Amino acid sequence: MALKIWLDDKLVDEQDAKVSVFDHGLLYGDGVFEGIRVYLGKVFEEKAHIDRLYESAKAIRLEIPMTKDQMTDAIRTTVKANGLQEGYIRLVVTRGIGTLGLNPFTCKKAGVIIIASNIQLYPKEFYEKGMKVISATTIRNHPLSLPPQIKSLNYLNNISAKIEALDANVPEAIMYNHMGYVAEATGDNIFIVKNGVVSTPPVSSGSLGGITRAVVMKLGIQNGFEIIEKNLTRFDLYTADEFFLTGSAAEVIGIVAIDGRTIGDGKPGPVTEKLRKLFFAYARS
């Protein structure tokens, strides 16, 4: 069955979901987006995702032509139209149609695209046995260049690091900031466990304020784990007892090696597994 795509103000068939070649989202990566999960037909952390979308848009002076309530209704309508029970939503707001030039104010109205479909970022065996990663040589964008809290359509920084990972025959790369501290993976947030303490880089290190990250931190604290935000170094990753990533698509996934160094006993650790189970129970509650 062909997908139904929300385009601007209505649902259209997949083959009719088209954008102009003059859209600045295409020409310059000028726009913002959210990746959102659906569990049991329910949009996961819906308000948090919509709030983050509008904050990203405000930061780049992009006016979304819908209220938050209208956006919520459009998301739910798209999910329902595609009969989605378990899956993924890609919510995109582009600057809209403009001229061949950088001036964003030639774009009269932003474009809205909502795709509700299926996704499996990593094979099932990675969740059971863990995943290997490398350190990228591509550093995270400087925060004065592009604040990491903006989830923009321009992902070349992350894509460059992803290419490094794929060239090394691993699925993911760890990115560091201009000061050498751990920022994030190419699409996920980072956590490590050392001596029972769970640590994650602060947003100021160059990471996105992840929705899944926030949920995992909340669940962990509620269940007695000590979770802190602090700057991490490559040494901290190399010597961690456990290491895992979180993200809307990845959910919670254990890392068992980085740059050829084995993490712990080479299997997803007990804290990782506990937090993963807590997350899945919460997501489907």
- The number of beta carbons lying within 10 Å of the beta carbon of residue 127 is 17
Sign of the alpha-carbon dihedral angle for 54, 58, 61, 63: positive
Active-site pick, 132, 151, 162, 194: 151
Q: Which of 215, 250, 220, 219 is nearest to 133 (CA)?
A: 250
Is 10 a catalytic site residue? no
Which structure tokens are listed for 259? Answer: 């740059």
- The number of beta carbons lying within 10 Å of the beta carbon of residue 109 is 11
Exposure string over 155-176, b if 16+ CB within 10 A, otherwise e: eebbebbbebbeebebbbbbbb
- Half-sphere exposure of residue 197: CA atoms within 13 angstroms, side-chain side: 8
Residues belonging to the active site: 151
